[in-house]
A and B are shown apart, each in its own frame.
Chain A
Amino acid sequence: MPRKTLTIKSKVESLSILDEKGNVDADLDPKLNTQKSLELYRLMLLARRLDERCINLQRQGRIGTYGPCRGQEAAHCASGILMTPEDWVVYAFREPGTAIFRGWPIEHSMYFWGGFEEGCRPPEGVNDLPMCVPIASQVPHGMGLAWAMKLRGDPHCVLTYLGDGATSEGDFHEAMNFAGVYKLPCIFLVQNNHWAISIPVANQTASQTIAHKAVAYGFNGIQVDGNDPLAVYVATKEAADKARKGGGPTLIEAVTYRMSVHTTADDPTKYRSDDEVKAWEKRDPIARFAKYLKKRRILSEDLEQKIENEIQTEVRAAVERYETYCKSVDPSIVFDYMYADPAPEIVRQREEYRACLVREGVLKA
């Protein structure tokens, strides 16, 4: 009965393929073809330009509080593009690129942050849950979807996004535990952006990594450079392949950085230094990927400009669609989706509200 060190079956790895200077580890490079490479580049750039536009819209009062994703484009886009239509994606709220890839209209972000429920309506045929504000509460949903897949015998997987702050919540641990117990086809992707509003990750957990929290639940964790789209892609692909084959869940910690504010209602100068932000600017995922693609001669200056112009046009068109929609909205539709078959008390309240709006001149009789 000696004291000895146990051998734990679960494995924790760390992965980096493309560094901030654009150097690539040739052995680990997934060598995405031109089409896939450009699709990913375009998606990341679109997420960034949409992000910038939404911040402007907020400053101009055209949408409400906005939660940006700047700096986290690789962490979410390079994982999201691996999901097939039969897979499901469960969002936190900093993954607009993945949502657009999945088929959500660009303006869904504006609806959501502009205060319209329509921002949470998955388009027909898109197997996603909507953005989720209460931290970590979406993690059991991803687990439950995967559970249903397993019970149905469907060979798909679920990608669930969460942040470093969410790993302190009970819901995260409960979902991880169930996923391990039932060996569910789950990918839990933690975007460790270092800050949960004002709390640095060092004050969020005493764990050496977030990735190795998986060990306690009996499956593997991997920490990747979250600003390295190739590392995110490879780790997610391996996790997805494993999940779809019945190999169970994976926890991916994508180490990235929240380059912007928590939301537009937040002032990060109160709690973090400019030097820290500047240091991370050098590790920008989009600039890094552009360098790499240029080296591979997939991207040229001309093509870069062309993509930029196309994205600007798309975002502008999305803003127009959003603002046209805003004008047409009937405030009494807030009653319409409470129940499939609303009880008389709800129907009566809807009539009461409509009459009130007519009386106040908001609606025409």
Chain B
Amino acid sequence: MPMPELTLVKAVNRALDEALSLDDAVVLLGQDIGQDEGVFRVTEGLLKKYGPNRVIDTPLAEAAIIGGAVGMAAYGLKPVPEMQFSGFFYQAYHQVENHVSRMRNRTRGRIGMNMVIRMPYGGGIRAVEHHSESREAIYAHTPGLTMVIPSGPRNARALLLTSILKYPDPVIFFEPKLIYRAFKENVPDEPEFLPIGKAQVVREGTQLTLISYGATMRPTLEAARDLAEDDGVSVEVIDLLSVAPLDTETITASVRKTGRAVVIHEGHRRCGIGSEVVARIVEDALDCLEAPIKRVTGYDIIFPYFSREAPYLINAERVKHAAKEVLEY
């Protein structure tokens, strides 16, 4: 069967379409997602296909979108609210911290929050301030949440579909907007699911482990390729896919084999996802380490305004530089 080639944005659209079609409890809500079809066109065609009771244009109020979704989920719907940009999610953060993440625990399992909160995140699109941040660590740090970040069209479609239809707890779903339209992948016609909380080894190797997720998977894979081709290094690459929970087993199994690791992400370094990855390697596989672990990350500064953005973004050269330091230690 031929597999259609889709961009990430189309793949997300496909997953939303399938979720709406497979389960009539699924409801999309957000700002400009209906008539306008989303500011990135993620919800293209969905209002027309499913009508205004399934694809709902809301007034401009993040807390009411998320708080309203709490009520919907309590009633048995499966709301999929969109935050237009992750930078505006803070206006609903109290709802996430105080209710979305806690409802199952507070009610001793009586009321779960089957909800997927989607939003674009990350830099690189020359956007105005507040539109470029990578704050996945905040949600990874919040008990009760699950933090999923796809890195390409095929896993975006599968992870989103799984999160909506097969995962009973609230998922924060970050979409790497830099690569919304950057490349296409074959996406199978039939619905595809991926386990939440499971990382993937996307390239096998024996001398070095590169660990990343989301938009920085591209420079990471490019670096792995160069290191293999130019320097003959056997590089293993792990795509975390879910940063909370974190798949400790896959990470440590790889590092036990390679003895060397570099963690790559655009989010800030301090208390970032990389800090947690390093801690788990140290806890479970310290005796196998041949070199200190390096982190290639965003710095602990406000994300630069877009005229200073390009040099700030992580590229393959930076990953290779860190990899060589680790390899030559």
> Do A and B actually bind?
yes
* Chain A residues at the B interface, C-beta cutoff of 8 Å: 88, 90, 117-118, 120-122, 124, 129-130, 134, 137, 139-149, 151-152, 158, 170-171, 174-175, 177-178, 181, 336-341, 343-346
CA distance A23 to B288 in the complex (A): 85
* Smallest beta-carbon distance B220→chain A, Å: 23
B246–chain A nearest beta-carbon distance, Å: 7
**Beta-carbon contact of A120 and B108 below 8 Å:** yes
Which of A137, A145, A336, A340 interacts with B168 by CB under 8 Å? A340
Known: A121-B110, A144-B74. A170 touches B63 (CB 8 A): yes
B143 proximal to A (CB < 8 A)? yes
- Would A338 and B71 be within 8 Å (CB), given that A174-B64, A344-B248 are in contact? no
Given the interface pairs A140-B71, A144-B71, A178-B59, the reply to whether A117 lies near B106 with Cβ below 8 Å is yes
- Given A171-B63, A178-B59, A346-B245, A130 contacting B71 (CB threshold 8 A): no
| Distance between B148 CB and nearest chain A CB, rounded to angstroms | 12
Within 8 A of A (CB), among B101-148: 104-112, 143-144, 146
Task: Write out the residue numbers on chain B whose beta carbons fall within 8 Å of the beta carbon of A143.
Answer: 64, 67-68, 71
Q: Give CA–CA (A170, B66) in the complex, Å.
A: 13
Is there contact, CB below 8 Å, between B94 and A134? yes
Cβ–Cβ < 8 Å partners of A118 in chain B: 108
How far apart sit A344 and B242, CA to CA, in the bound complex (Å)?
Answer: 13
List 20 additional A-B contacts (Cβ < 8 Å) besides A140-B66, A141-B67.
A117-B108, A130-B107, A134-B98, A137-B95, A140-B70, A141-B71, A143-B64, A143-B67, A144-B68, A144-B70, A144-B73, A145-B74, A148-B76, A152-B77, A178-B68, A181-B59, A338-B144, A339-B146, A339-B169, A343-B245
Query: Interface on B for A, CB 8 Å cutoff?
Result: 27, 53, 58-59, 61, 63-64, 66-77, 79, 94-95, 98-99, 104-112, 143-144, 146, 168-169, 197, 245-246, 248-249
Least Cβ–Cβ distance between B184 and chain A, in angstroms:
32
Chain A contacts of B108 at CB under 8 A? 117-118, 120-121, 337
* B94 / chain A contacts, CB cutoff of 8 Å: 134, 137, 171
Contact A338 B105 (CB under 8 A): yes
Q: Which B residues touch A140, using CB under 8 A?
A: 63-64, 66-68, 70-71, 95
User: Which A residues touch B71, using CB under 8 A?
Assistant: 90, 140-148, 158
Evaluate whether A338 and B75 lie within 8 angstroms (CB atoms) in the complex, with A140-B95, A151-B53, A174-B64 already known: no
User: B64's contact among A130, A134, A175, A346, by CB below 8 Å, is which?
Assistant: A175
Distance to closest chain A CB from B285 (angstroms):
15
| Distance between B46 CB and nearest chain A CB, rounded to angstroms | 16
Question: Which of the residues A137, A158, A181 comes within 8 Å of B99, measured between beta carbons?
Answer: A137
Q: Tell me if B168 and A177 are in contact (CB < 8 A).
A: no
A54 to B58, CA, bound (A): 43
Give the most central of B58, B71, B106: most A CB within 10 Å: B71
CA of A152 to CA of B106 in the docked complex: distance in angstroms? 26
B112 — which chain A residues lie within 8 A by C-beta? 340
Q: What CA separation (Å) do A149 and B53 show in the bound complex? A: 11
User: Separation in Å of the A142 CB from the closest CB of chain B?
Assistant: 6
Q: How far, in Å, is A88 (CB) from chain B's closest CB? A: 8
A340 contacts across to B, CB distance below 8 A: 104, 109, 112, 168-169
* Complex CA distance for A139 and B99, rounded to whole angstroms: 12
Residues of A within 8 A of B146 (CB): 339
Quick one: given A149-B75, A345-B245, are A144 and B67 in contact (CB under 8 Å)? yes
Query: How far is the CB of A293 from the nearest CB of chain B, in Å?
Result: 36
CA–CA, A341 and B67, complex, Å: 24
User: How close is A124's CB to chain B, nearest CB, in angstroms?
Assistant: 8
In-complex Cβ contact of A174 among B27, B63, B99 (8 A): B63
Partner pick for B67 among A146, A149, A175, A338, CB 8 A cutoff:
A175
Question: CB-nearest residue of chain B relative to A345?
Answer: B245
A337 with B74, Cβ < 8 A, contacts A140-B64, A344-B248 known: no
Taking CB as reference atom, which chain B residue is nearest A342? B245
Contact of B27 among A121, A129, A151, A158 (CB under 8 A): A151
- Find chain B residues with CB under 8 A from A338 CB: 104-105, 143-144
- The distance in angstroms between the C-alpha atoms of A170 and B143, with both chains bound, is 25
On whether the beta carbons of B67 and A137 are closer than 8 Å, the reply is: yes
Q: CB-CB < 8 A to B58: which residues of A?
A: 178
